[in-house]
Structure 1
Amino acid sequence: MSPELRELFEIKQEEKKNNPPARQNVGTHVLIRLAVLILGTIAFSIAMSMASGWGVLGVAIYMVIFHSLWFLFILIEAIVLQSIEKLKLRNANLTLSGILLLIYGIAAIMIFLD
């Protein structure tokens, strides 16, 4: 449509802004998420080694809750990254989730199938 007709009918056309894609540093992204997971696991492991009796089970349950919340955070972040079109970071989150599920599966097999 010509600019004159657009002006006559008062049709406004939005101009797309050519923003450069945001820089996606996957290494830093993965390193931060793994650091949180590993430091949390180490802290709970130290707490379990200092506890005695049923306290060990309580700390282990807290560690499972921590890992579950971390996993949920990673999945929610993957959805948010999909919506803002940061696909490399989303793929990194989904890969971390898959690796974590694999590790949990192996641990469950080793614990429950003696």
Structure 2
Amino acid sequence: MVRPPGRHFPGVLVQGDPLHVLRGEVGEILAACGRDDLAGAGDTAGLLLSGLDELLAGYEAALTATGSGDRTEGRRPAGRHRGGRFPLRRPPSGPGRRARLG
């Protein structure tokens, strides 16, 4: 974690290897969507969400340990629902949509 000048809360530093893994998982989700493999996309999205939840938990623990408070107190992360997974919906159709996914 780093605290940039002028910011109240610190940020999370992501090194190249984990960033590459995150990018790869998003790429797998898009590829699965392009094949209409929503189950595969959902599985990969669930793994990605779990990894991000772990990162967020570590961030919140560090904030608490340093006395900075909980940055997410009272808020639920965007896109998350009670089941802990993103509901998958078919992407909107339209001209050029497949080209961007494939």
- Give the TM-score taking structure 2 as reference length: 0.47
- Give the TM-score taking structure 1 as reference length: 0.43
Larger Rg: 1
